[in-house]
Amino acid sequence: MPLIECRQLTRVYHRGEVEITPLDHLDLDIGEGEFLALMGPSGSGKTTLLNLIAGIDRPTSGDLRIAGVDIGRLGRSELANWRSVHIGYIFQLYNLIPILTAYENVELPLLLHPMSRGDRHRRVSSAMQLAGIADRHDHYPRQLSGGQEQRVAIARAIAAEPRIIVADEPTGDLDRSSAREILTLLQRLSREMGRTLIMVTHDPHAAGYAGRSLHLEKGKLVDQAATVGADR
């Protein structure tokens, strides 16, 4: 059974009298431990799909089941609790809090979980070590390079040990060298840690790190291709 099942998944917005359908009756299965790249032009529905899977938005119609749970039918507080346990989100522009150190940024979402200070420290330290940023634990975001900031953001996303990691253009603001390092790290999270990873990207080179690429246009799935998920 797939970890993520989308059936006739649709999202409709209204701007005044104009109806916008960024996602239109989409069917999709995503396996556990898969690294999936979502591609397509702006407005194709990539980020909408990402946000639905992450529990940030809700479908207008259709079914979205993750590990057998129909998350579209969860109440607001139930969905928030589910998201904090199951989802790690990586943003293009990092979304770090400038007045907190790297360590404190990674620790912040763990404060929502019932765990001891020692357990939080263990998880933060492990996530920062895995992301290759442990030596910058006491640095503030302004003291870090873009690649280092994204490593902190990745550590923050994985600290709660979520089953699913979603990434929205995670290398869009990085130079080629930093982007390659981040993509290799994401690949490791899937291959070695068994995390299910879904990445939105406009870059075919970035998509080449994934095990499978999907192309969306006008809210519909128009193409998909297996990739080798090559080391670059």
pLDDT higher than threshold 80 for residue 231: no
Helix axes 176-191, 146-158, angle to 10 degrees: 20
Distance CA 107, CA 112 (A): 10
Average pLDDT of every residue of the chain: 92
First-to-final CA distance of the chain: 31
pLDDT per residue over 12-30, tens digit each? 988 888 899 999 999 999 9
Over residues 118-136, the mean pLDDT reads 95
pLDDT for res 224? 63
pLDDT per residue over 146-161, tens digit each? 999 999 999 999 999 9
Instruction: Judge contact between 200 and 165, C-beta under 8 A.
Output: no
The torsion of the CA quartet 181, 186, 170, 134, rounded to 10 degrees, works out to -60
Q: Domains, the chain, ranges and CATH? A: 4-226 (3.40.50.300)
pLDDT for res 112? 85
Instruction: Name the one residue in this structure whose structure tokens are 């870090």.
Output: 144
pLDDT per residue over 78-97, tens digit each? 999 999 999 999 998 899 99
In this prediction the pTM is 0.90
Give burial (CB, 10 Å; 0-12/13-18/19+) of 10: middle
Least Cα distance to 133 among 119, 121, 150 occurs for 150
pLDDT for res 48? 94
pLDDT higher than threshold 70 for residue 225: no
pLDDT per residue over 162-216, tens digit each? 999 999 999 998 999 999 999 999 999 999 989 999 999 999 999 999 999 999 9
- Which two three-digit tokens encode residue 136? 């910058």
List Cβ neighbours of 99 (8 Å cut-off, separation of 6 or more).
140
pLDDT higher than threshold 80 for residue 118: yes
Pairing of strands 69-70, 61-66: antiparallel
Helix axes 117-130, 146-158, angle to 10 degrees: 130
Segment among 57-71, 77-91, 218-232 with least mean pLDDT: 218-232
Local structure of 142: helix, strand or coil: helix
